[in-house]
Structure 1
């Protein structure tokens, strides 16, 4: 599955799944550009080219792609990983237009814009796109209704693009993780902290019991490196006839392919 010599751009690379993708791709010999609004010390340590861009802005993804092409000469693999969500415990009626818009800017339009900007290079190099969606795109929940809607849009986009771009040599696949051990769940201000506080427990207490309550038959959250392994397999030459798929990795919670 070696990516040696390939050029790879991954968004949301400062932590969590994006950082794991950047780290493993670099370890396999890829030349990596990691994009994030802020550059973490962990991303610097990977050996990737770190690019600081706000991907939720209209020109942010285009800026990132232009910098990546300037650094690498072109893009073989685009990983749209950046994402964000909040627990909407007040219900649907309290979610403002601004919150809906921000959720879609981060989770959906960042990918639309990055793909559009990178497409000439991807077509020239017969490359691959992997979009990191979520099981919430298939199995929505009230507390993440805007996030789930944005991820459903991303999954749908991937399937449509696979149909258009597959005959032109560019494969497009989607990975849909369930809850993953990242700062979004474990962090001080993450969804785990919000849900723990609502239930009157600490984050470690909440996360210790969450897999069983949520029906994870593996008994644990997914690890970022496990998602990264699936993402990079789909981006690699070993998956050269896989196109238009949506692959779930959720510890058996949804029990579906």
Structure 2
């Protein structure tokens, strides 16, 4: 299916690995120009190098960085049609999961919201005038199932993502009549580096459970999190939903939340 993204320009945050890398790869395959935003590049992002890909090195904890990324996209490609706010998770200096609500200080909360919510707010604030001048566009915010399922081990993260879901609804109401669609994709546990890297979440759970990393991801986590599919999601599966929402083929979809979570959320 042609997603009608050829020649469009997208800004993707957190693009160097995991879900963001998969989104970048998919957009490029659909013929889009991509400004891939991350603190540094990676070998796998470098493999995608070409005239349709620009890496913009930025620390999204810097309040100026989101706007600078959007401005660079306009400078190089002439506009922005798609914004994917994918950057998220623990910011530099913060570790998850926690043991309790009491383990998060005021500074931990501030850093978590800066990275997971305020960076998206700033990127959206910068891109809306650009999209309006270009006749519209699509914004996709990558949230989390934890926005709905409160967890004391990720309390500040879940609160920030709940704020992102609320933001999506507000923006979709205000800007849909002006041609800008805003939607959310909410993953559950995904096999990203946050889980799989040495010392990552899988290793931490393995140490507690007396298991190895592969057993944790293949069996312990699916059982512990009651995943209906019996497995964690692949980043590409999340990327597919993101790119479909970014596409003009989803022209009547706005204010929606798509769960790509292996059946993590059970509520109606």
Structure 2 residue aligned with 1:32 = 34
Deviation of 1:195 after TM superposition, in Å, equals 2.2
Counterpart CA distance in 2 for 1:66 and 1:195 is 41
Counterpart CA distance in 2 for 1:102 and 1:196 is 27
Q: TM-score, normalised by structure 1?
A: 0.96
Contact 2:99–2:152 (CA under 8 A) maintained in structure 1: no
Contact 2:4–2:249 (CA under 8 A) maintained in structure 1: no
CA offset digits 1:105-154 (Å, max 9, x no partner): 11000100000111111112210100000000011211111110010001
Counterpart CA distance in 1 for 2:199 and 2:173 is 39
Q: TM-score, normalised by structure 2?
A: 0.92
Q: Which deviates the most, 86-95 or 143-152? A: 86-95
1:232 aligns with 2:264: no
CA offset digits 1:214-257 (Å, max 9, x no partner): 21111111111111110011111111010101111111121357
1:104 aligns with 2:109: no
What is the correspondence of 1:77-116 to structure 2 with a 5 Å cutoff? 77-85=82-90, 86-116=95-125
Structure 1 residue aligned with 2:145 = 135
RMSD: 1.3
Counterpart CA distance in 2 for 1:52 and 1:93 is 34
1:41 to 43, 57, 60: 43
Counterpart CA distance in 2 for 1:222 and 1:196 is 19
Equivalent position SS for 1:109: helix
Unaligned runs of at least 5 residues, structure 1: none
1:194 aligns with 2:204: yes
Deviation of 1:94 after TM superposition, in Å, equals 2.0
Q: Which deviates the most, 67-76 or 109-118? A: 67-76
Counterpart CA distance in 2 for 1:32 and 1:230 is 17
Equivalent position SS for 1:103: helix
How many residues align? The count is: 257
